Amino acid sequence: ALIGVATALLSPVVYTSTTTFINSQTESPPASGLSGVASLVGINLGVYSGSEIPPTMYPQIGESVEFKRSLLKSSVDKEKQIKLETFLADYNQIKTPESIGNSKLFISEYEDKLFGLISDIISIRVNQKDAFVTISANMPESEYAANICINAREILQKTVINNRIKSAKQKLDYSEKQLKSKRIEFEEIQNKLAYFNDSNLNLVNSSVINERNKLEAEFEIINAVMIELSKQVEQRKLQVSEDTPVFSIIKEASMPVERSSPKRIQMILIFGFVGLIISVLYVLIKNSTKSVIKEIIS
């Protein structure tokens, strides 16, 4: 019991904050006997497009290097003055190296230690049946736990969104570059046509008319291309918006009032109970053990 009291008092305080959300655009298959049976055993047979990350893969995202590096750069306090990296290094007395590499492939010893701590801090769980995603954050400060939980959710959602709209975004960027290029050509031919008309106001010979017709035809072609590219850009903007996943937050992270651990009373009771069992066993086997030892010696 005394050991339990000492352990309970010396154990670090931990606060846990949780948030729960769901991808509102996750498609469900039509009702069928197979999906009905699968749902009874907790299996979700949801349909996902090739470019969409299913919720069951979210925990793997949480273990990725990109996710952990982004989380280390996030702030843990309301004033956004303390980065998670700085807090973890100071709290766990990890020496910060003079220079930190930015290689995507190479993980330094310093980063590896911080990544291990993040794995203990952040927990991502998925409800296989209903596709609910729950993120939990364990921190020694209530405010830090809530902020890290929110940051982890936002980074996870951003990763899913970027992956989902990657193809549509690339097509949109290409169309915008083409539109920008054609706009330059359009302005050039427009200025050239205006200058030609101003320079030949009083001339009506065949060469002037042919040159004007040539410039006007070129102007009409580029103008038609501009109109089509503008339509294409707007359509692809709509496609990006349509492909962007929408997340519904079921439970937002909040600052926990009570610590999640250590549960001091429970620890004292457990240690006391174990001590009681050991004491009873000692009393019961003490005399018989002595007699057995005496017989062996004699």
Tokens of 105: 């492939």
Q: Is the pLDDT at 15 greater than 90, yes or no?
A: yes
d(CA 132, CA 249): 10
The model's confidence at residue 25, banded by pLDDT at 50, 70 and 90, is low
For 36-95, how does the pLDDT look when each residue is reduced to its tens digit (9 = 90+)? Answer: 454 445 555 555 555 678 888 999 999 999 999 999 999 998 888 899 999 999 998 888
CB atoms within 10 A of CB 226: 16
Predicted structure pTM score: 0.72
For 205-249, how does the pLDDT look when each residue is reduced to its tens digit (9 = 90+)? Answer: 788 888 888 988 988 999 899 999 999 999 999 988 888 888 999
d(CA 42, CA 28): 15
As a three-state string, the secondary structure of the chain is: CHHHHHHHHHCCCEEEEEEEEEECCCECCCCCHHHHHHHHCCCCCCECCCCCCCHHHHHHHHCCHHHHHHHHCCECCCCCCCEHHHHHHHHCCCCCCCCCCCCCCCCCHHHHHHHHHHHHHEEEEECCCCCCEEEEEEECCHHHHHHHHHHHHHHHHHHHHHHHCHHHHHHHHHHHHHHHHHHHHHHHHHHHHHHHHHHCCCCCCHHHHHHHHHHHHHHHHHHHHHHHHHHHHHHHHHHHHHHCCCEEEEECCCCCCCCCECCHHHHHHHHHHHHHHHHHHHHHHHHHHHHHHHHHHC
Question: What's the mean pLDDT when you consider all of the chain?
Answer: 84
Counting beta carbons within 10 angstroms of the beta carbon of residue 80, is it exposed (0 to 12), middle (13 to 18) or buried (19 or more)? exposed
pLDDT at 33: 46
